[in-house]
Amino acid sequence: METTLKSPSHSFLQCSPTLFTNYPNNSNFITLTRCLSLKSGALAKTMASTTDTATPITFGFKNLLETFTVDVHKAENRPLNVPLIAPFTIASSRLDKVENVAIRIELSNGAVGWGEAPILPFVTAEDQPMAMAKASEACAFLRRCPALTLGSMLGEIGAILPGHEFASVRAGVEMAIIDAVANSIRVPLWRLFGGASSTITTDITIPIVSPAEAAELASKYNKEGFKTLKLKVGKNLNADIEVLQAIRVAHPQCQFILDANEGYKPEEAVEVLERLHDMGLTPILFEQPVDRDDWDGLGYVSNIARERYGVSVAADESCRSLIDVYKIVEGNILDVINIKLAKVGVMGALDIIEKARAAGLDLMIGGMVETRLAMGFAGQLAAGLGCFKFIDLDTPLLLSQDPVLEGYEVSGAVYKFTNARGHGGFLHWDNIA
């Protein structure tokens, strides 16, 4: 029997051309209506009856929110500590090692999902002890929670971990739940979120360092195939200009993004653009040039950058909720919004993507300092939706160790996502205890 599937209208998934994939000639094909009426355990049993070589069935995420029943068997969290190759310094903080929180959720059907709550001091509201405590609270709830639809369960997590204060932990728990569901239905995350592409190309970040160190990094990244460098600036204007000059010599053809992490005053941000213009240098993006609450200053810099130099300005720290998006849109303050799952959660990110795209804003996706666990989830979301102009998902490349097994493939700046179920990567849980 041939069955035709039609996707529901929902704007946060309209970035991609295909929400569902139909395999009418596959003898193992199961209609969407039948699959989504099954409990998660029964669904897993049905899926297990297919052969390993069968083409996986792709479902739309919005449908699963309403119809897939999640029954959690186990839920726990542990510290995820990983050393950096070198200290990571930005205008507002310095990180000497990653101290994040890993989350593991197992459903009653045996499917496992993984999540990560990244901690970046002065950027995320949580430190590691707070994140551990809140993740434990959320996991305890999930262990005693009756089976719920995916949407209802994510809503309960949103109530336990509300707002920006617990956004990073909320993101980690949401990742783990969604990953477990994707594993249940044998679908990679990039297909679950729309299937627009199975690859992304990221920039790579040069933190605040000396001109000589910056030049060395730029040369290294040039050889590795990175075409776009993201430069952390904002602590010292003159030093920033010297670093940019050194990078241009070491990597003459690179495009570059400036990220001030709130470090400049509005007049300083404009001066940076003026001086770069005099040097014949133009960034492709200027991210968060001023304090996140200085909306007038942000608009002032954005207007000059756009009109005088043709440079877009992005809101990062200034955009932490839908309320901020409405403010940006209604005031025509800037052109780009940086989406970070750890800043707004997975569901919050999808809401912001919907609003920003409807308003004609461009999108960037970034992260804090994460392993390939959280970065892989964000990357698959970006690949699946296919609507991000700027990709900044590089921080696993800055770590001296990789605790994640399997997962996406890395070739220079390109991440390739496979057809493995869910995230495709996992942790040796006992080894990180």
**Adjacent-strand bridge partners of 416:** 199, 409
Per annotation, catalytic residue among 97, 232, 265, 355 = 232
Helix axes 237-250, 266-278, angle to 10 degrees: 30
Query: Residue 241 in contact with residue 275, Cβ under 8 Å?
Result: yes
> What DSSP string describes 279-302?
TT---SEEE--S-TT-HHHHHHHH
Adjacent-strand bridge partners of 256: 229
Cα 49 to Cα 27: distance, rounded to the nearest angstrom:
12
259 annotated as a binding-site residue = yes
Gap between the Cα atoms of 412 and 202, Å rounded: 9
Check the annotation: does 430 bind a ligand.
no
Distance CA 158, CA 208 (A): 35
Enumerate residues 6+ apart whose C-beta is below 8 A from 87.
94, 95, 96, 207
- Strand 336-340 and strand 255-259: the pairing is unpaired
Amino acid identity of residue 419, one-letter, is N
232 is catalytic: yes
Distance CA 416, CA 420 (A): 12
Strands of the 72-89 sheet, one edge to the other: 72-89, 94-107, 112-117
| Annotated catalytic residue within 134, 230, 340, 343 | 340
287 in a labelled binding site: yes
Residue bearing tokens 């309403």: 66
Burial zone of 431 (CB within 10 Å; 0-12 exposed, 13-18 middle, 19+ buried): exposed
Q: Which residues are annotated as a binding site for Mg(2+)?
A: 259, 287, 316
Residues with a known catalytic role: 232, 340
Residues of the binding site = 259, 287, 316
